[in-house]
Homo-oligomer: A and B are copies of this chain.
Amino acid sequence: MDIQEFVAKSIGHWRSQRSAHHLAFGHFEAVQSEIEIAALTGDDPAVIELCKAYDVDPQAAVSPFRMTWEGQSDWDENEVIKGTCVLIPIPDPNQLNRGKLLRDQGYAETIAATGDYYITEDGTFVLTTAYDRAAAEEKIWFVNPNVRCRVSLIKTSAGSGVVTASFSSEIRQNS
């Protein structure tokens, strides 16, 4: 599977159940959300702008998309968790299953971030992103065309300590 196929399978409206495990304290957090993943064209101003910010030729962008989410955590039912970000895969010209992923906003910190991705032989998308004070590792795979699983790990940037492990099960909704 290449990035084009992976993004194509992801386009749509998803209902997500996410559990976050805060490992040091043995705490559980449950988040319910709706996620919209929409394809962008290569000449979308948001795509051009983000490529420019990273000094990347917009021609190198493959299957750019926008992800928008809105949800609620059981830790604070009054707070709505919502956001949107633009994501742009830049495949490695020499290795079809690897590349960079540009984002105008990261998960672990609310700043722009570049991650490195690869897709395993069994179709798992693996993304690692280094932030100032943390590193994120994410695995996403399809169980079937309508069910996606996602495991995200937030580690201390210093090394191997895992701070939070979270798991999302995502079910495609008819839109």
List residues of A whose CB falls within 8 A of some B CB.
Answer: 15, 17, 19, 21, 23, 26, 28, 30, 32, 74, 120-122, 124, 126, 137, 143-144, 146-147, 149, 151, 153, 155, 160, 162, 165, 167, 169, 171
Contacts and interface: CB of A to CB of B under 8 A. Distances in A.
Contact of A28 (B17, B23, B26, B160): B17
A124 to B, nearest CB: 8
A144 B121 CA distance: 22
Given A21-B169, A120-B120, 5 more contacts: A19-B19, A30-B30, A120-B124, A143-B153, A144-B162
A60 to B, nearest CB: 26
Given A17-B23, A122-B126, A144 B167 contact: no
B26 A32 contact: yes
The 3 closest A-B pairs by CB, nearest first: A167-B167, A19-B19, A165-B169
A167 B19 contact: yes
B151 A149 contact: yes
Contacts of A144: 160, 162
A158 B101 CA distance: 37
Given A26-B17, A28-B17, A28-B19, A149 B169 contact: no
A143 B162 contact: yes
Contacts of A28: 17, 19, 28, 30, 74
A74 B149 CA distance: 23
Contacts of A153: 143, 149
Contacts of A26: 15, 17, 32
Contacts of A146: 160
A17 B25 CA distance: 11
